[in-house]
Structures are given as C-alpha cells and as structure tokens.
Structure 1
Amino acid sequence: MNLGTFSGGIFSFCNWFYRLAYLNILWIGFTMLGAIIFGFFPASVALLSVLRQLIQKKEPVIFSTFWGYYKQEFKNSNKIGLIVGIIGCLVIINLFFLQQSPINQTQWLVYPMIMISCMYVLFICYLLASFITFEQTIPKHIKNSILIMLYNPMPSLFMIFGFAAVYYGITWIPGIGFFFSASVLGLVILSSATLAYQKIEKKQLQLSNQATNN
C-alpha cells in the first residue's frame, strides 16, 4: 500500500469529519437565530450550498460562505418554507382526522397517508436541492421537484434508505446527532438529487441524439 495515498485518505476523511460537524453546528445555530420557524429553510439552503461547493472541491471558507448564503437567500427560502408549511399543515390535518375516525372506516387510508407523508418529505428534499442548483422561479422549482420525485424512483429510494441509516445511527450513538444529523442528511439529499439530474440529462441526450439521427 502506498503510504502517501493512505495518509492522504486519512487526512481527507478527518477533514470531511471536521467540516460536517462544523456545518451541523452552524445549521443548528442559524436555525435558532431565525427563531427556528424563520431560520430552518435559510439555514438548510446555506448548509446544502456549502456542501455542494465542498463536493465540487471549491474549498470555501465555511463560516463566511454559510453566513453569506443565509443572508442572501433568507427571504426567498422562507417563501418556499411558507408554501411547504401550508402543504404540511394539510397533510397533518388529514392525518389527525384519520386518527380520530373509526378504525373500520379509515383503516384502508393508513398506508396511502403514510406514502403521502413520505412523498412530502422527498418533495422538500428535491425542492431544496433544486433551489441551490438552478436559477428559476419558485413555481418552476416546485413543479420540477414534483416531476423529478415522481419519475426517478431509484434516487428517491436511495434518499429514503440514506435517511433511515442516519436515523438509526443517531439512535444507536447518543449525542452524534448534534454533530452529524443535518450535515450528513444534506449529503444524502445532494447525492440523490445529483443522481436524478444525471439520469434526466442522460435521457435528454438520448432523445436529442435520436432526433438528430431521424
């Protein structure tokens, strides 16, 4: 084994370990700075934006870059948060009334509502990924996120399994969620969304080549 390659791998791992922990703490702090309700989406957008730069090996200054995205996208990200919140309230209200209704009348609705809840979470993830990746209007972000979620089951399954793995990791190792919950979930979201975008680009390229050949 090449010692230089091994030591380089160890350094890279430790560097990512530190960055993910630091970003997670920043995400918690800036979410609280916005009184949670107004801080969650700006902090999440900032987190994903910095992670995207790190994945692209741009080596940003983490704090100043995070703070810059937080300020820059505070208003627009909270607009998205408002829309997501309204949709979420409708889902919660439906689940509440489902629980209050007689079992024999609503039992067949349980699994569809669970599926809708999962799709709601996936929609939020794709929406955030779209917001930091593409420059377009909010309605277009929403439309494209729904279409990507519906027509790309494999990336969505990858996202679900990734979320489950993070959940069990946090459950089994007390305290680790403070350092590696949101940041690792951010990596899962970006990896899944990137996979979906690559599949779409590949399909578009195939269609373009077919049109050219015809």
Structure 2
Amino acid sequence: MEGNLFITKLNTLFLWVTKLAYLNGLWILFSLIGLVIVGLFPASVAMLTICRKWLHGESTLPIFKTFVKTYKSALLSSNLLGWILAGVGILLYINFLILQANTGQINIVTISAFYLFLVFFLITVSHALPVFVHYRISILNCIRHAFIIGLLNVHLSIAIMISQSSFFYLMFSYPSSAVFFLGSILSIIQMWLALCSFKRIDKRAMKKKSVKAFA
C-alpha cells in the first residue's frame, strides 16, 4: 500500500512538472510569435489564466486550447495594459538616472516623492495582470483596482515581489531550468498570492454588506 501511494504521488508530481514545462514552452513560443513586443503580454495573460484555473481546481482543462483562446481574446487589451505599465516603468528608470546624476542638487522632497511613487508603482504592477485575468475589467479600472488591492494587502504585494525576484535569480543561476520553468512557476506563485489578496478583499466586502443589512 505504501509503495502504491508513493508511486501515485510520484506520478502526480511528474504530471505537474510536465504541465508546468509545457505551459512555459507555450509562453515562450507565443511570445516569440508576437516578436516579444506584441506577444509577451497576451502570452503572460494566457499563462496566468491557466494558472488561475489550476488553482481553482480545474486540473484537467485543455491547456493548448485555453491558452490560444485567451491569447487571441486578450491580444489588444493586454498589450495596452502592459505597455502603459512598461512606459511608466521606463519613465521612472529615466528619472532614477537623472536623480543619480544630480545627487546633492535635488531637494529631499523631490527624492522622497520619487521613491514613494516608485513603491506605489511596484505595488500596482504586482497585482495588475492577476487583476486583469480575475476581474476582466477596463484597463483604467484594472490599474486602479490593482493599486487599491495591492495597497490594502501590502504584505502580499511584498511577498509577490520578493518571491518572484528570488525565483528569477535562482532560475538565472541555472539557465537550463529557466527555459522549462521560469514563466510558469513565477505565474503560479504570483496568481496564488494575488488570489489570497482577492479573497481578503471579498471577505471585507461581505462584512460591509452584512453590517449594512443589519443597520
């Protein structure tokens, strides 16, 4: 019995490793099909969509069919969201270089404002794509919701940033592993933590409704 249980668990582990590697392969392939510039964000949304379904218990969903369907439907909107955030990120980086080049000439208020905005930006980015996948709302609402949810669950936003940075570093220390697992494992970590944020927000909303109902 113990031997059969071990084999079953080993088969389950192998199955999930295979699924994650396959999903990562699709992410790379469809990012390249869109020449990265157009393909990266819809491929990432498609990958997060599958991770979300897995985390909700849909372990037998057709991976390729679901990926392609999501990729096509999110092609324009995901690129709009992704490049808005990327554009803000580029502007922040340019401002950072300017601050570095003019150290001592810029007042503390400006520097503090920059770093505060940077923190808010990172909080928003940590939840932006999961919010897009989970709620399917307009781009502006997605950014607004990502910021609010990320700020209300700042510990989970930090957890997303730290876990992803750590895993990213680990994968690039072993490049052969990155080819098979970088995107898929980063996505499943991000989506799992983001779903924890969404559940906390939903609980707060339910409590408010209950209070209003009894008021």
- TM-score grouping bracket, smaller chain normalisation: 0.7 to 0.9
In the alignment, the residues of structure 1 paired with residue 86 and residue 172 of structure 2 have an alpha-carbon distance, to the nearest angstrom, of 27
**TM-score under structure 1 normalisation?**
0.88
Counterpart of 2:97 in structure 1 is 96
3-state DSSP of counterpart to 1:26? helix
- In the other structure, the counterpart of 2:163 is 162
Aligned pairs for 1:12-161 within 5 A: 12-58=12-58, 59-101=60-102, 103-105=103-105, 116-117=117-118, 119-161=120-162
2-structure distance, mates of 1:9, 1:114: 47
User: How far off is 1:153 after superposition?
Assistant: 1.3
Moved more, 193-202 or 84-93: 84-93
**Structure 1 residues 174 and 81: CA distance shift in structure 2, 3 A:** closer
Q: CA deviation at 1:187?
A: 0.9
Cα deviation, residue 136, structure 1:
1.9
Secondary structure of 1:12's counterpart equals: helix
From the superposition, tell whether residues 106 and 50 of structure 1 become closer, same or farther in structure 2 (CA, over 3 Å): same
1:207: which partner in 2? 208
Distance 1:121 1:12, change over 3 A: farther
Q: CA deviation at 1:142?
A: 1.2
Secondary structure, counterpart of 2:20 in structure 1: helix
Secondary structure at 1:44's aligned position in 2?
Answer: helix
Q: Distance in 2 between matches of 1:105 and 1:178?
A: 45
Structure 2 CA distance for partners of 1:181 and 1:200, relative to 1, 3 Å: same
Query: What SS class does the counterpart of residue 36 from structure 2 fall into?
Result: coil
8 A Cα contact 2:127 2:150, kept in partner: yes
RMSD between aligned alpha carbons? 2.3
Alignment TM-score, normalising by the size of structure 2: 0.87
Q: Do structure 1's residue 178 and structure 2's residue 179 form an aligned pair?
A: yes
Matching residue's letter, 2:208? L
CA shift for structure 1 position 70: 1.0
What is the CA–CA distance in structure 2 between the aligned matches of 1:174 and 1:82, rounded to whole Å? 27
Gaps of 5+ in 1: none
Unpaired runs of at least 5, structure 2: none
CA–CA separation in structure 2 for the residues paired with 1:47 and 1:200: 24
1:36 alignment partner, SS class: coil
Deviates more, 1:85-94 or 1:38-47: 85-94
CA contact (8 A) 2:128 2:146 kept: yes
